[in-house]
Amino acid sequence: MSDDFLEDLKRNWREQDAEVEVVASRLKRGLMISRVMLWLENGVGVLGFLFGAWAVWHGLTHDLGVVAIAGASIVLTAPLFAWMAWRARRQDPDWSDETPQGVLRQMIERTYVIEKLMRVCRLQGWALIGLSAVLWAATPTGYVDSDDRLVLITSIFVVSAFVCFGWAIWRDHQARSERTRCKALLAEFK
Amino acid sequence: MSSIEQVIADYGPALARIAGAYERDRGLRDDLVQEIAAAIWKALPSLQDEARLKPFVFRIAHNRAVSHVARQAARPRSAELDETLRDEAPDPEARLVESERSQRLVAAVRRLSLPYRQVITLLLEDLSYEEIAEALGLTVNNVGVRINRAKAQLKAQLLEGGAER
């Protein structure tokens, strides 16, 4: 194999040069969006928790059972989702201190974590359905009024639960495919 | 300590070429470059020795690209059809692959298995054997063996005039 061949390859490889400024500006924009998204994610979590706490207080002080219970569910789920997001980020491979094989092994591990998180997601869905059932079951006691607000809130809960189930099924399927692909790529290194 | 802006200015085009060796679809390739840049941005504070920046950047790029390949394989690729259609009516804006020979080379590189694709792309980016070994966590001897095999496969493919899969 002559060096001329390699020099020729390098020349052809560089011919696909991207415009530095276009690449750089696109990357800068992407990084800015990443920073904003991180802040938004944290901000929405905190706002959700505060709103839920306010709803609980408002519901209790104004004798609005539905509002209090809905607020309590937000107070409980906001930290759970924040924990899930933190956990998912923590499971990101260490890109700077890993070999490609190590990255693939970490990704395989991550697919198992995703499957566990999806089990939490399904539980969340069942919790929402259970909460709706409890709210309707409480209407004969008079603590919860059987009105349009109850219909609206429980409808939102049930729809959210089915969205959870659908997302969990889709993500589970993705995790299994990803694991299969990672194993195949790992085999290429052997 | 280098800033992410400096890294992008110095290595942006190389990162785009590396991404191109893993991803054929232009939109997904742009996404991959963004993901690589974000990973470098997060990892930069952990860089101890500024002199090792080059292998550090390329190690992250390849690791991120490997994960991209694994993830994309699990997703439907309707975008590839769009790219095929675009190829029939070339879009001059920000097109990375310009010449026929360059396209054939990139296509041939994409057909290599991952271990060979990684060493050859780093060699084409002018990294030394030592830097490639550091970036990929290999011994220098192993790098030499893989490069020889990768070059032989590339030569065979280019002589065959293999078109992109």
Cβ separation of B115 and A188 shorter than 8 Å?
A: yes
A96 touches chain B (CB under 8 A): yes
Token pair, residue A34, equals: 């990443």
**In A13-23, which positions are buried (b, 16+ CB within 10 angstroms) versus exposed (e)?**
bebbebeeeeb
**CB A1 within 8 Å of CB B152:** yes
pLDDT-derived band at B57 (thresholds 50, 70, 90) equals very high
If you average pLDDT over every residue of chain B, what do you get?
81
User: Looking at chain B from residue 92 to 131, which residues have their Cβ under 8 Å from any Cβ of chain A?
Assistant: 94, 96-99, 101-106, 113-115, 118, 123-126
Interface confidence: ipTM more than 0.90:
no
Lowest mean pLDDT segment, chosen from B53-57, B73-77, B90-94: B90-94
d(CA A158, CA B47): 48
**CB B117 within 8 Å of CB B109:** yes
Q: What is the pLDDT of residue B76?
A: 57
Domains in chain A: boundaries: 3-188
What 3-state DSSP class applies to B73? coil
Lowest mean pLDDT segment, chosen from A21-25, A95-99, B132-136, B156-160: A21-25
Residue A168 in this model has a pLDDT that exceeds 90: yes
Which residues of A fall within a CB distance of 8 Å from B17?
13, 16-18
Compute and round to an integer the Cα radius of gyration of chain A: 25
- For residue range A49-78, list pLDDT tens digits in order: 899 999 999 999 988 888 888 888 888 887
Of B111, B2, B30, B59, nearest to A95 by C-alpha is B59
What 3-state DSSP class applies to A189? coil
Which residues of A fall within a CB distance of 8 Å from B148?
1
pTM greater than 0.90: no
- For residue range A86-131, list pLDDT tens digits in order: 766 665 667 777 888 888 998 899 899 889 989 988 998 999 999 9
Where are the alpha helices (H) located in A15-99, listed in sequence order? 20-61, 65-90
Say how many CB pairs under 8 Å bridge A and B: 145
Which residues of B fall within a CB distance of 8 Å from A16?
17, 20, 96-99, 102-103, 106
Token pair, residue A55, equals: 């709803």
B16 touches chain A (CB under 8 A): yes
**Residue in A closest to B98 by C-alpha:** A16
Query: Which domains, from first to last, does chain B contain?
Result: 1-96 (1.10.1740.10), 98-165 (1.10.10.10)
DSSP-derived secondary structure for A102-159:
HHHHHHHHHHHHHHHHHHHHHHHHHHHHHHHHHHHHTGGGTSS--SHHHHHHHHHHHH
A156 touches chain B (CB under 8 A): no
Which residues of B fall within a CB distance of 8 Å from A182?
70
DSSP-derived secondary structure for A37-60:
HHHHHHHHHHHHHHHHHHHHHHHH
pLDDT-derived band at A46 (thresholds 50, 70, 90) equals confident
Token pair, residue A126, equals: 């069942």
